[in-house]
Chains A and B, each alone.
Chain A
């Protein structure tokens, strides 16, 4: 069982690592945000956090964003594999559906982790300043967030029969999750209604934890962040397994 999960995980990783172009293009998104948004607004943004400048403040939010996009779009492989037939080969094999889902979630999370690590590693080159040990400590949390997001992607992919359908639904989900997470701004100054929305978004707690670890600014206790991150991963993984079981080739 573990061996099968590993073999399936390894398959996705091999394909990810073979496709260098994808790895490089995936880094353009956070750096575009960092350069255009970070430097564009740095002069006019006065953060309540004191010390850190806006570029450094953005880095944790963009690290979480990188995971959000990478892990969500990794789930499109299910739509892809159904379209091109490989999924049937998996579904007809004597492999528990749960093992396939576990491998997908772990691979989606691992690819997202590679991308976000690169992003964190390279961001000091454009002038971001943060605690490197804090960034290192953030990686497990970002990885678990990656599992949650990939599980959500699987839930969508299990119902979608086309790339277009998947793309449309995922964009519909991904944009509000990103913009209403505090990735781009401190949540302390938000109006009450908007703040309530941010508080039910699991990504807010990821951003908060990573920002706390990297630049020492956070709104919630770290323990609460970790609890939400772990809890949402468990819930979404369970839902993804259920959705995948119900799916037919």
Chain B
């Protein structure tokens, strides 16, 4: 397929993602890269998922070294990992090879990446400040990043409750307010920014606080929806 034909097919199958940082950065990057590589046979969606997982683990290793330059590299590697994560589904749709196993592998690898990155951040933060503050933040963060996908998948698989539709209207304000849902994309951004600023502690603080607020709000939202639906 020629470049123009590939671009056209890509545009038809491409599904933009709603999350703020994804829409602003990772999805356009994924689109641009796929424009070049989408027909390379040896690149498959599952290999992209694997690449995303492997790069995230490399970033974890770099963070635990505690070195200033490695922190900067880790910040970039985390974004590479996130772009690869955005590419896999798009490539599967482009080639019409979406599979249940691919969907499972993608979600599973996300769920493994989160605590791995937080573990690395906590190890480094404790190294710099061996007190109980980073410890408590790390434990809270690792619980919260596991808890949020859990309550969402529980709500959608057993109760048919979809994602939060707040800030999903078209329009400049709504699109940008979506930043404050602190979805996955934003916390990848936050981790990268904090690493660039050489502070693993700030990353932990950001994740623990933002995910704590969102987890509380999501739990309330789902419970209220269930309460309403059970009224006669």
* Chain B associates with chain A: no
Q: Which residues of B contact A (CB under 8 A)?
A: none
Q: A residues touching B (Cβ–Cβ < 8 Å)?
A: none
